[in-house]
Amino acid sequence: MRRRFSKGVIAIISIVTVLAVGITVGIFKLLDRITPFAEPVEGCKVTTPEGSLELEIDQAQIASVIAAVAARRRLPERAVVIAYATGIQESKLLNIPFGDRDSVGVFQQRPSQGWGTPKQLTDPVYATGKFFSALVKVKNYRELPVHQAAQEVQRSADGSAYAQHEDEGKILAAAFTGRVPKAVHCWFPEPTPASARPAATGAPLTPTDRARRGLAHALGAEATLSTDSRRHGWLMATWSVTHARKFGLRRVRYSGQSWTSSGGGEWKADTGAPAGQVEIS
């Protein structure tokens, strides 16, 4: 027997259906406004012929430090690729103060194994220097597969895991060593300069002064922003962009290009930007 509904029941069903449709449409419109796929408020993007990657600013800062320490030691790009593959596997290129047992830092080095003190190993410059010191002692490391060279340094439980990050390492190395110009751009809200620290004379340090000191820490005490090497210039310009938020920099200029914190993070043509000097302010 077919059941028949009264007009009142049919009316109620109709009203409920209309309300359900209306609520569904409203939810979709609200979600569209929220747009979870919008570009993050801050971050960095690496674009090279080898491919593209998106990084957190903290990750980009670590990547630029690794490239700078390699340049200071005059190491080949292959060494940088190995360091990146290792850092990605060990910490996702983050300077973390904890890990398995007493492991700390970007490369998860252990104080109990003679790598250094926890304070030293959470200084990315020091930790990277220790990594490279061990790597160059590996016989024929340039010819070894990336994961094998990394494992010779790290002695981890599963050295094959480093292999999965080789392609990412190549993309990062091409960008952060300066081989590919203007390959890294970072964006973030307009920075507030970090609180000034007194210098030896008692004068406050400007954001530019602090950035210069940070770069000198990575590249060596004698490092300057002047260079005859275009590749080295882009390495320093990239380091400056990735550290702009930290030091309160608003502009970086080099080799006919400029980056500004208010410019969406993109490098733009600037005919006044010199080729032999990285300008930061």
For residue 11, pLDDT over 90 is answered with no
Mean pLDDT for the stretch of residues 152-178:
94
Query: Using CA atoms, how far apart are residues 270 and 93, in angstroms rounded to an integer?
Result: 32
Tell me the per-residue pLDDT of 206-258, one tens digit each, with 9 for 90 and over.
999 999 999 999 999 888 999 999 999 999 999 999 999 999 999 999 999 99
Q: What pLDDT is recorded for position 222? A: 83
Average pLDDT, the chain: 87
Q: What pLDDT is recorded for position 6? A: 57
Tell me the per-residue pLDDT of 32-63, one tens digit each, with 9 for 90 and over.
443 344 457 899 999 999 999 999 999 999 99
Side chain identity, residue 180:
V
Residue 226, phi then psi, degrees to nearest 5: -95, 145
Q: What pLDDT is recorded for position 157? A: 77
Side chain identity, residue 127:
A
pTM, 2 dp? 0.83
Sign of the Cα pseudo-torsion (155, 160, 162, 163, in order): positive
Q: What pLDDT is recorded for position 4? A: 54
Sign of the Cα pseudo-torsion (208, 250, 230, 167, in order): positive
Percentage of the chain exceeding pLDDT 90: 73
For residue 23, pLDDT over 90 is answered with no
- Burial state string for 233-256 with b = 16 or more CB within 10 A and e = fewer than 16: bbbbbbbbbbbbbbbbbbbbbbbe
Query: Using CA atoms, how far apart are residues 49 and 79, in angstroms rounded to an integer?
Result: 20
Query: Using CA atoms, how far apart are residues 118 and 96, in angstroms rounded to an integer?
Result: 11
For residue 174, pLDDT over 90 is answered with yes
Is the CB of residue 107 less than 8 Å from the CB of residue 87? yes
Which residue would you say has higher pLDDT here, 64 or 30? 64
Tell me the per-residue pLDDT of 130-150, one tens digit each, with 9 for 90 and over.
999 999 999 999 999 999 999
Q: What pLDDT is recorded for position 39? A: 56
For residue 22, pLDDT over 60 is answered with no
Percentage of the chain exceeding pLDDT 70: 81
User: Poorest-confidence range of 4-13, 51-60, 77-86, 125-134?
Assistant: 4-13
Q: What pLDDT is recorded for position 81? A: 98
For residue 26, pLDDT over 50 is answered with no
Query: Using CA atoms, how far apart are residues 205 and 196, in angstroms rounded to an integer?
Result: 5
For residue 281, pLDDT over 80 is answered with yes
